[in-house]
Amino acid sequence: MNEYTYPILFGVIIGVTIRLVMLRADYRQYPTYLHGKVIHISLGFIAASLGTIAVPAIMELEFTAVTFLTIAASQFREVRNMERNTLTELDAYELVPRGNTYIEGIAIAFEARNYLVIFTSLLATLSFLVWNIWVGIIISFVCFFIVRKFMSGKTLKDIVNIEYVQPHFEGAGLYVDNIYIMNIGLPQRQEEIGEYGMGFVLTPKNFNVRSTIANLGQRQAILHDISVSMGVFRDSGTPALVPLIKRDLDDGRIGVFVLPQERDKEKAIKIIGAVPVLENAIRMPSESKANKEEGGLK
């Protein structure tokens, strides 16, 4: 044992703890229990070790040893690829798939969380060595709150108003409010949709949101989350019972048509409101130079 033993142990413990905080299986059941968690906890331990050991290496003027962080970066990029490939394979067997945009967001999040572990371990170890363990604990708590902030992004309830609207037929056309969804000709399917179907209209709160909810990946995320949380009345080979979202071309609203097994309007509104706003779907047309020169968009 030497002067760096306790700081290194402290940094590794803090880093692994932070990774455990960020690792939770929710309604999406990912990462799966138990093997998926073992993989990510192991990667979190490696990330914590890399961030911790970098500090003693710099203090001993072993600058070449820090270059292994670049190798770690390339390895964690492989984590993103692993998550993307795994979820894409699993998505093919979902009744209502996540979609590529949702999958890419999850994969990026897993890669980014390993970098957060590295920085947390590095700062915790550095504060331990420069000051003492109590300062290290304080810095660790600060990092913990920062990490929690990074984990909590925007949800749909922050950017749209959600209203329940009972789907209805006009001839063979299925509508949610005045938004056309699809054509259903079979009377049996129309009866099933009348019994199980639910509709929601999402109205954007500003012009930027119109582009965000128009994104096909964001729409698919809404359908997947509500179908996972409330069940779905369909099976493979029943295209007439597929949940769909269509857009009102005049004002940017979207009509959500779903067939949940649990018909609870208030719960469905809460679930839709809790759907994350996907980073890859966010658009800011009002920030363009041309729109700013014209006084912005409303």
- How far is 286 from 32, CA to CA, in rounded Å? 40
Quickly count: other Cβ atoms within 10 Å of residue 100's Cβ.
16
H/E element, 75: helix 68-91
pLDDT range class, residue 13, cuts 50, 70, 90: very high
Angle between helices 5-22 and 35-59 (to 10 degrees): 150
pLDDT at 86: 83
- Between 77 and 121, name the one with better pLDDT: 121
Residue 164: pLDDT band (50, 70, 90) is very high
Mean pLDDT of 131-160: 85
For the record, the structure tokens of 142 come out as: 């600060």
Residue 30 pLDDT class (50, 70, 90 cuts): low
Banded model confidence at residue 209, pLDDT cuts 50, 70, 90: confident
The pTM (predicted TM-score) of the whole model is 0.81
Mean pLDDT calculated for residue range 151-179: 86
- pLDDT digits over 52-76, tens only? 888 888 887 777 767 777 777 777 7
Distances from the Cα of 5 to the Cαs of 46, 152, 205, 214, in angstroms? Answer: 17, 34, 54, 54
Least confident range of 36-45, 196-205, 269-278: 36-45
Give me the mean pLDDT over the 256-278 stretch. Answer: 89
**Mean per-residue pLDDT for 121-133?**
89
Flag the least confident range among 20-34, 44-58, 284-298.
Answer: 284-298
Q: How confident is the model at residue 149 (pLDDT cuts 50, 70, 90)?
A: confident
pLDDT confidence of residue 26: 53
What is the arithmetic mean of pLDDT over 103-117?
84
Q: pLDDT-based confidence at 172, cuts 50/70/90?
A: confident
Q: Where are the domains of the chain?
A: 5-152, 157-289
Question: Which residues, in sequence order, are CB contacts of 56 under 8 Å at separation 6+?
Answer: 4, 7, 8, 125, 129
Highest mean pLDDT pick, 130-139, 237-246, 279-288 = 130-139
Q: What phi and psi values does residue 182 have, to the nearest 5 degrees? A: -165, 175
Residues 158 and 88 sit within 8 Å (Cβ to Cβ)? no
Question: pLDDT over 90 for what percent of the chain?
Answer: 11
